[in-house]
Structure 1
Amino acid sequence: MNKSIRKAAVIGSGIMGSGIAAHLANVGIPCLLLDMVPKQLTDEETAKGLTLENPAVRNRLAANAIAKLAKTKPAPLFDNSFADRITPGNLEDHLSQLAQVDWIIEVVVENLDVKKGLLQQIEGVWKPGTIVSSNTSGISINAMVATCGDEFKKHFMGTHFFNPPRYMKLLEIIPGQQTDPELVTFMKGFCEKLLGKGVVLAKDTPNFIGNRIGTYGLLVTLKEMTENGYTVEEVDAVTGPAMGRPKSATFRTLDLVGLDTFVHVADNVYHNVTDEHEQRIFTVPLAMKSMVEKGWLGEKSGQGFYLKKKSAGGSEILALDLTTMEYVTQKKPKSASLEAAKLAKGAKEKTKALLGAKDRYSDLAWNILKQVLIYSAEKVGEISDSIQEIDEAMKWGFSWELGPFETWDAIGLKRSVERMEAEGLTVPAWVKDWIAAGNTSFYNNEEGKLYSIHVGSSKYKEVEFAPEIINLRSLKEQNKIIKGNSGASLIDLGDGVTCLEFHSPNNAIGEDILSMITQSLDEVRRNYKGMVIANQGRNFCVGANIMLLLMEAQDEEWDEINDIIHLFQNTMYKVKRFEKPVVAAPHRMCLGGGVEACMPADHVVASAETYYGLVEVGVGLIPAGGGCKEFALRSSQQVSLDGVDLQPFINHVFQTVGTATVSSSGYDAKKLGYLRPSDRVVSNQDFAIYEAKQSVLGLANTDYKPIPEEKIRVVGSEGKAVLQLGAIDMKRGGYISDHDLLIAKKLAHVLAGGDVPAGSLVTEQYMLDLEREAFLSLCGEPKTQQRMHHMLTKGKALRN
């Protein structure tokens, strides 16, 4: 389909509407944000002498929503400046402007009559061919446009974003009965590639996929809890990470979502299904209705299933006792099953361990899980024809590590079905037919390809992925590993391009990864066009191996530490001077040494959600893998013309590194200087390796030359004094400690280029030597060792 979306309009400027507009702005799509015209003036407007006819008043709702974006946490925008891409307006004065956009998204109150009336208004100004969609969490798509024309219906669908739109990967697209299938295909591809979403196609049924299964699971959990006497904290202990679910588990999730919102979603199913058993399940418990009536809605009201109570000694989080409706001190649950799950690695093993130990918590997990699995199977064909889309909806929308059918495979399909039937449950016929045909799982991996059940058949069908998705695990299963060790592997991506994948614990950089980088460069030099540095772990890289450094420092093995840092520096230098292109593709947390592994690359293709930072000062150190040197070099390059003052650039670097600033997005990493103007940011993390591979091929197919070495102009001793004076002022103001000041002085010495005259030209090796000397001296400081130990044991920085 020859179609594009260059401009959009969002109608409704509430939390979801403004969030969707913000995310459209994030990816470069200008957006018109419309809302109703206010009926009354505010006191501030009255004081200014404004009237209800003033444009600032008439656009107030949308304008205020845009203004709030910069203050909202978590941040809806990749960069606050992107708010300029959103234009406020109102439905009376600016409705006709909808004819100028390519996509109109309705995001008003969840009321069928209101939505129908608005869509009729939209149709009155609608330009044929414009896509129109509703962001509804469960109202019928067909019912909304029942009175609209056929051409309008062809261009209408549901687009259910999950909140918050920037961060939640799931987007459910719900075609209507007359929606053009080619338009659905176009929107799926557009939303995946440009908006970075994981798109599932849902049928027009109450609450679609994610909320249908998710709400059912929460209500089943509440039922088991009340019938068998479990507490709030016991349920959350079982239904969180122990089952491969988020830490928010059941009741913290409900508090985050809002109990009123949850009740509305549950009621939507109750009023729109005819099965009496299903209606009983979707009947909201009286205790929850009572909480809503009291205004105990969760975090937005200050209390829900949990209440944070402040006291002179700090604060305590109390849990609600549903039998007395009073808040009580939490009791941490302990049992063999919970301990077994904690010790197990990965969601599959955790779930099996939890179910395998026979105690009351294991029973709770099983009694919840069996009902959710059967219900998910019952809904195949009704809410979606694909078990994969049901699984992905739960993973992307509810942060489950395994979807229902993946979970069923993990615990043993045949064995668990036998147990369900022995306990009197009715398993859907198609599941039993699948097992009877000799199948032992819903999914099957063969030679790196994924197959899933073809419902209605006894055979598997191959799961198709977008061509832009490169799965490293799949490539490894196809024996595409060229070489590897415990820390990293070199994988053949095809077309003469390789991928260096980190896979050490937390992808922390140690000698094994550094060794594999050198070996990989040798291999690529002989046989390949270039290399991508990427992985598909939870985070790209959390930095260097602090444990190793701490052990060596405590043993006063200074030569060992010097050798480790020297190896790191030399390895990164080899990457930078390599005669074939190297492209890095970081994602999510990319800290310390992870940043230094990307900086020497010819090009960086970062995911939009990349949190990038040189954070070494948090453990009492400074960057010493080339990070300081690279920043100094970039600053020098920006002032290559005579007469441009270098000091402001170095001041910015000093502040960024000295405060361990981490970018809030890939775009913010550009603003901070971690990424270069030529580096790219891609919306969909799943596409990043593909895009990096294309970048390698693009460079390789030109007359590629390695980055030449150049001298670095430094601010010298005069500039160092400026940096150190700023740090001393911070100390005098009580903002930093004595040890912070020591670190800052070391950092200033390195970034300034040491005690040379201002404007001196120095070599990269000279700067690396300064880095290494400062790093070694700080390793010997007891307070630095305390910081490293605290980070390893507590997972957060120590201010000492």
Structure 2
Amino acid sequence: MMRSIRKAAVIGSGVMGSAIAAHLANAGIPSLLLDIVPKQLTEEEAAKGLTLEHPAVRSRLAVQAIAKLKKTKPAPLYDDTFAERITPGNLEDHLAQIADVDWVIEVIVENLDAKKELLSKIEAHWKEGTVVSSNTSGISINAMSADCGEAFKRHFLGTHFFNPPRYMKLLEVIPGEHTDPAIVSGMKQFCENRLGKGVVLAKDTPNFIANRIGTYGLLVTLQEMQEKGYRVEEVDAVTGPALGRPRSATFRTLDLVGLDTFVHVANNVYENVSDEAEKAVFAESPVLRGMVDKGWLGEKSGQGFYLKKKGPNGSEILSLDFSTMDYVPQKKVASASLEAAKLAKGAREKTKALLGAGDRYSELAWNILKKVLVYSAAKLGEIADSIREIDEAMRWGFGWELGPFETWDAIGLVRSVERMEAEGTAVPGWVKEWIAQGNTSFYKKQDGAAFYVHGGQYKELETAPEVISLRSLKEQNRVVKSNSGASLIDIGDGVACLEFHSPNNAIGADILTMIQQSLDEVRSNYNGLVIANQGRNFCVGANLMILLMEAQDEEWDEIDSIIRLFQNTMYKVKRFEKPVVAAPHRMTLGGGVEACMPADQIVASAETYFGLVEVGVGLIPAGGGCKEMALRVSQHAAHPDADLQPYLNQAFETIGTAKVSTSGHDAFKLGLFKPTDRIVINQDHLIHEAKQSVLRMVQAGYEPIREEKIRVAGSDGKAVMQLGAYSMRQSGYISEHDVKIANKLAHVLAGGDVPAGSLVTEQYMLDLEREAFLSLCGEPKTQQRMQHMLSKGKALRN
């Protein structure tokens, strides 16, 4: 058994090392962050009279790295205060302290000799039971530990985090030939449960799994482009979302990664493989080498395959012309294949549409894809034991919506292999043998279970008990009720899950109707309800298109009816006689927040971006959001003589500036979560954890939330908030229409024109919300803001 990891040490405080320490801090794991002792003073240190022996100088690199975490974007920390969980130090004065940690992570320069020297120093202070790992992106784990003792080797392995560690799901765990299997399984479990990672087990081969295949794919794309004369922007148009890949596609990805980094990674494969055909692909590209020599490294140097240039009409992004090596204006990329892919839904259908149109972009996609698929199949057994690990590595590490073998199934395994062989492409023998046995896919579903090819036969796809897949449950006919916007699904143990599945999960009458029907069903047949889904985002708000259309037609009674339905539905959720837990993730905005607030508890993903953003379209929250914030203000200042104003001002600022939390933890600071709400770091475990919360409430003898009166600040508190809005207008920070919205918001949050300290009902507050919302809907400038958001996807300041 591997011992529990309660404290860690990270050696190397560069971008990656400090970010790993930050993510450990996110997970509640304190760590030492150690680096070398500087050999020169900075000008600031010299001015202070410090010497190279001063402790502040000796640990400067780690101290600076920790300070930088709070300024880095995207933020490596869920909360800036978590930086306090990282202790800076240096390798000469503090290395002995690793005897008191449970995990040491090496994150220094990618150089075998340097890593071997460091491991020797670590082993001198190492205590048996402590796990030691390297974050190397491709250097051999066995070569690194070759000179270490047997006990040390049993505790040593690779843990390759993808950058940035907070946001990238993939973690490749690479056992050495001597690594204790218990350490491997223990680390896999720890990294999944505590760090929220998607862990794949990789073989100790050059660049492991994701970088091996991803680098190959990028290189064959570059070669195809040069051979056939495609432009940079053409390649990116084909190899992005049209092929189920990220928007950064090929060349934007290279610019983000850094061309020097990419050349180093590719060279690592070239130097460590023996197959001549493979070496030829990974051989250094003259184009890439030339760009690196010129300092065209991508985003970090300001130019790479793309260059942002300021012109008389604003900024323009130019692309590199390989024939002249000059930057030129991009040309519009359009074709039947790209249009077909754009119209198709889902990565499977998009890929098939792109390949099926028969134009030059279809040809480009096919020529790249077939090489990647064949290469992935050829590397099975060498870089990983199963196709599942290869597919997961590419989805989690490179953002592909489908892994190579999932893609192969999507385009038709048998048909595509026939085409490959007809074109002279050599297909690995095991793939042909698999097809010869009568199989038509690498994955299949049967009797509610999923299978994948492994060892020449289908093996059942096992999932951890903490992972609940709503898609799988629906395939098992566990849907209880459904309409166009939402479904109620039986997730076992007497708990049902309400899933939104409208476009963008926007809340409309269909979802509200299904919520009410779900409450009726749960009342009769279940112990409790979870509100969750597994879409890209939890919910982007109410259906703005319908609202704008009604406002433009001046259908005020219809808008009033819609808002009443929303308010009444959320009120029923809050007063429901059985426990309700909301489980939001990623973007949860406006009405999505209001769908969560009435729940007994919110169990949120750590990556939840939560905010009442209605002012961005010229409105205020009216589905109970203002009422709930006013209630929390009242609860914070529970004593009758306590001052409401400080809490009220914070709520006014949070809603009035459309603040969105930068994490689940940040939502607590904004007052959007209650103290009893919880955060789950692994989003795959979110619905399971929400279900467990429901069951705990049931076991404890659940009692519904009782209605309580809300103490409001009244006209006095309203005046304070309105004065703040007036001051911002006078300073030029906001527009006249912003002031109008702010005054309406202040009126609602303060409870209207009642005496300070008045006690009002929730329904009274809901009526204020609805009245303010309706009046703002009639404002032409609000309608302009709504139209702009729908057409441009961003807020209009008018």
Fold match by TM threshold 0.5: yes
> Contact 2:714–2:757 (CA<8 Å) still a contact in 1?
yes
> Contact 1:447–1:477 (CA<8 Å) still a contact in 2?
no
1:686 pairs with 684, 687, 690, which one?
684
* Cα separation, 2, equivalents of 1:116 and 1:140: 11
Question: What's the offset of the Cα at 1:701?
Answer: 1.0
Aligned counterpart, 2:388:
388
Aligned counterpart, 1:265:
265
Question: What's the offset of the Cα at 1:3?
Answer: 2.1
DSSP 3-state at the match of 1:188: helix
> Contact 1:552–1:560 (CA<8 Å) still a contact in 2?
yes
Which one-letter code corresponds to 2:689 in the other structure?
Answer: E
Aligned counterpart, 1:559:
557
* Cα separation, 1, equivalents of 2:298 and 2:464: 39
Aligned counterpart, 1:16:
16
Which one-letter code corresponds to 2:744 in the other structure?
Answer: K
* Cα separation, 1, equivalents of 2:2 and 2:367: 50
Equivalence map 1:510-659=2 (5 Å): 510-659=508-657
1:702 pairs with 697, 700, 703, which one?
700
Question: What's the offset of the Cα at 1:335?
Answer: 1.0
* Cα separation, 2, equivalents of 1:447 and 1:257: 43
* Cα separation, 2, equivalents of 1:399 and 1:248: 10
Aligned counterpart, 1:90:
90
> Contact 2:2–2:183 (CA<8 Å) still a contact in 1?
no
Which one-letter code corresponds to 1:86 in the other structure?
Answer: I
User: Is residue 195 of structure 1 aligned with residue 195 of structure 2?
Assistant: yes
Question: What's the offset of the Cα at 1:311?
Answer: 2.2
1:507 pairs with 505, 508, 512, which one?
505
Equivalence map 1:132-171=2 (5 Å): 132-171=132-171
Aligned counterpart, 2:129:
129
> Contact 2:620–2:773 (CA<8 Å) still a contact in 1?
yes
* Cα separation, 2, equivalents of 1:775 and 1:446: 51
Which one-letter code corresponds to 2:168 in the other structure?
Answer: M
Runs of 4+ in structure 1 over 2 Å off: none
Aligned counterpart, 2:173:
173
2:720 pairs with 707, 719, 722, which one?
722
- Percent of pairs with identical residues: 77
Choose 339-348 or 561-570, whichever is displaced more: 339-348
> Contact 1:448–1:476 (CA<8 Å) still a contact in 2?
no
Aligned counterpart, 1:348:
348
Aligned counterpart, 2:325:
325
Which one-letter code corresponds to 1:300 in the other structure?
Answer: K
Question: What's the offset of the Cα at 1:465?
Answer: 1.0
> Contact 1:599–1:630 (CA<8 Å) still a contact in 2?
yes
* Cα separation, 2, equivalents of 1:386 and 1:643: 66
Question: What's the offset of the Cα at 1:2?
Answer: 5.6
> Contact 1:219–1:284 (CA<8 Å) still a contact in 2?
no
Question: What's the offset of the Cα at 1:133?
Answer: 0.2
DSSP 3-state at the match of 2:300: coil
* Cα separation, 1, equivalents of 2:727 and 2:532: 41
Aligned counterpart, 2:358:
358
Aligned counterpart, 2:663:
665
Equivalence map 1:409-424=2 (5 Å): 409-424=409-424
CA displacement, residues 271-298 of structure 1 (integer Å, 9 cap, x when unaligned): 0000000000001210110000000000
> Contact 2:3–2:102 (CA<8 Å) still a contact in 1?
no
2:750 pairs with 746, 749, 752, which one?
752
* Cα separation, 2, equivalents of 1:770 and 1:413: 60
CA displacement, residues 223-272 of structure 1 (integer Å, 9 cap, x when unaligned): 00001101101100110011000110000000000000000000000000
Question: What's the offset of the Cα at 1:643?
Answer: 2.8
* Cα separation, 1, equivalents of 2:134 and 2:780: 59
Which one-letter code corresponds to 2:237 in the other structure?
Answer: A
CA displacement, residues 137-182 of structure 1 (integer Å, 9 cap, x when unaligned): 0000000000000000000000000000100000000000010101
Aligned counterpart, 1:52:
52
Which one-letter code corresponds to 1:170 in the other structure?
Answer: L
Aligned counterpart, 1:337:
337
DSSP 3-state at the match of 1:271: helix
Q: Normalized against structure 1, the TM-score is what?
A: 0.99
Equivalence map 1:21-32=2 (5 Å): 21-32=21-32
Question: What's the offset of the Cα at 1:702?
Answer: 1.5
* Cα separation, 2, equivalents of 1:335 and 1:599: 46
Equivalence map 1:300-319=2 (5 Å): 300-319=300-319
Which one-letter code corresponds to 1:534 in the other structure?
Answer: A
Aligned counterpart, 1:485:
483
* Cα separation, 1, equivalents of 2:206 and 2:414: 31
* Cα separation, 1, equivalents of 2:561 and 2:487: 23
User: How many residues are paired up?
Assistant: 798
Aligned counterpart, 2:408:
408
DSSP 3-state at the match of 2:272: coil
Which one-letter code corresponds to 1:168 in the other structure?
Answer: M
* Cα separation, 2, equivalents of 1:449 and 1:121: 49
Structure 2 unaligned blocks of 5 or more: none
* Cα separation, 1, equivalents of 2:642 and 2:122: 54
* Cα separation, 2, equivalents of 1:41 and 1:661: 42
Question: What's the offset of the Cα at 1:484?
Answer: 0.9
Which one-letter code corresponds to 1:215 in the other structure?
Answer: T
Aligned counterpart, 1:370:
370
Which one-letter code corresponds to 2:134 in the other structure?
Answer: S
Aligned counterpart, 2:249:
249
> RMSD value over aligned CA atoms?
0.6
* Cα separation, 2, equivalents of 1:488 and 1:751: 31
* Cα separation, 1, equivalents of 2:532 and 2:340: 33
DSSP 3-state at the match of 1:300: helix
Question: What's the offset of the Cα at 1:214?
Answer: 0.0
